[in-house]
Amino acid sequence: MTVCENREKNLAECTCTYSCDKRGICCECVAQHRAMGELPGCFFPPEAEKTYDRTIRKFVEVMQGRV
Ligand code: SF4
């Protein structure tokens, strides 16, 4: 498992509710989702995050009218 000196601090801020070994290891989380054309769960509002749909299409859909 990756050792990250910031993991505990990152976990305190992480809003992802999916059970995942990358939680708190933001560099791996971002890289994984970027490779799939997605965004990390923390970019989504809570109700959308819970769907586990991390696609950019979903992000644009839920952010319409919020920004
Ligand atoms: S956003 Fe994705 S990679 Fe990151 S902790 Fe959640 S499920 Fe894991």
Report pLDDT for 34. Answer: 98
pLDDT at 6 over 70: yes
CA dist 8 and 34 (Å) reads 23
pLDDT digits (tens, 9 = 90+) for 9-35: 999 999 999 999 999 999 999 999 999
Q: Whose CA is nearest to atom 6 of ligand 1?
A: 16
DSSP state of 9: H
What is the residue extent of each domain of the chain?
Answer: 7-63
CA dist 21 and 55 (Å) reads 20
pLDDT at 3 over 90: no
Q: Please choose from 1, 14, 23 the residue to mutate so as to test ligand 1's pocket, defined by most ligand atoms within 8 A of CB.
A: 23
Nearest to 25 by CA among 39, 14, 36, 38: 14
pLDDT digits (tens, 9 = 90+) for 28-65: 999 999 999 999 999 999 999 999 999 999 999 999 98
